[in-house]
Each structure stands twice: as structure tokens, then as C-alpha cells.
Amino acid sequence: MRRYWLGAILILIPAAAMALGVGDTVSSVQVRDANNNPAWIPDIGGKVLSLFYTDPDVKDQNEKFREELKAENFDKNKYRGIGVANLKDTWKPNFIIRKIIRGKMEKFKSLILTDTDHTLKNKWNLGDCNEKDVVIIIGKDKKVKYFKPGPMSEADRKKAMQIVKDLLK
């Protein structure tokens, strides 16, 4: 019985170690745009990025932080916010979500991409993203500076905002 538990622990430790974390380097990934055409995540290595990988079932989970970022009106030559809708984990039809995304993109002049099959989740080892809005801040050096799956507390929002501001100095 001890061998079984030891084996299970040894299997789980590497899996946990593979999850994305602060300091990890990321690269651009091809996902889909709002019209279901292939699209690459832009500006990795060129700008400071705030990337929201969002299950549409909890699309407002970190809306307060999105609004705080928008209110800062960061220099668009140095900073970009990107949304990626996690279409794999939602029960809602993709065509409806894409229609909503196109409307939001027009209204807010923002970029929202889609991930239909966990391409980004798997490539970046994001872990369990179901029912979560994952916030990732990436520096111009392509390294993860902040990673938070799920709801952000006020302290989380302050910490993440300070990271973005420091990266833009």
C-alpha cells in the first residue's frame, strides 16, 4: 500500500511543477479570432501584456481589475490588454459567444481572441481553467510576472496593478 501512495505522489509532483508560474517564459500561441480564423497572440516580447484567459460562464469574475486597468489609460505603444475566451469549458454555443465578442471589441476597441480546444491552456500549462478567469501579466522579456487563476481580491488587484506600473517605468 505504501508503494501505491509513493507512486501516486511521485506522479503528482511533476504535474504540479509543470503549471505556469511567475518567472516562466511564454511564447505566442495560435488560437482563433472572433470570426474563428487563426490568430496569434500579439505583442509578446514587444509590450507589457495583461492577458485574461476567461471561461465565458464567469466572464465578470475579474471585471473590476479590467476596469481599473482601462482607467489607467496606459501608453498603447508600451502596454496591451488581451482577452482570450476559453470556449472549450463553456456550455454556451461558440457562435453566440463570438457574436458577443465582436460587439465588445467594437464597443471597447479591444482585442478578444478565442481558444476552442485548450490550445493556450495546454501550451502555457495553465491548469484547471473551468469556471475561472485567469489573469496573467507578461513583461517585455516574455516572462510571467503575475499569475492568478480565479477571482482576484482587492490585495491581488493592487499587487497586479503595481506590477504593471513597475514594468512600464
pLDDT of residue 1: 54
CA 11 to chain centre: 27
What is the CB neighbour count within 10 angstroms for residue 115?
24
pLDDT of residue 2: 54
| Spatial CB neighbours of 75, under 8 Å, sequence gap ≥ 6 | 168
Domain boundaries, the chain: 21-167
Instruction: Divide the 169 residues of the chain into consecutive groups of 10 and give the mean pLDDT of each group.
Output: 49 56 97 97 97 96 96 97 97 95 88 97 96 98 98 98 98
pLDDT of residue 3: 53
Distances in Å between the Cα of 90 and the Cα atoms of 2, 6, 56, 58 are 39, 35, 6, 9
pLDDT of residue 63: 95
pLDDT of residue 108: 80
Contact 84, 54 (CB under 8 A): yes
pLDDT of residue 19: 85
pTM, two decimal places: 0.89
Q: Please name the CATH architecture into which domain 21-167 falls.
A: 3-Layer(aba) Sandwich (3.40)
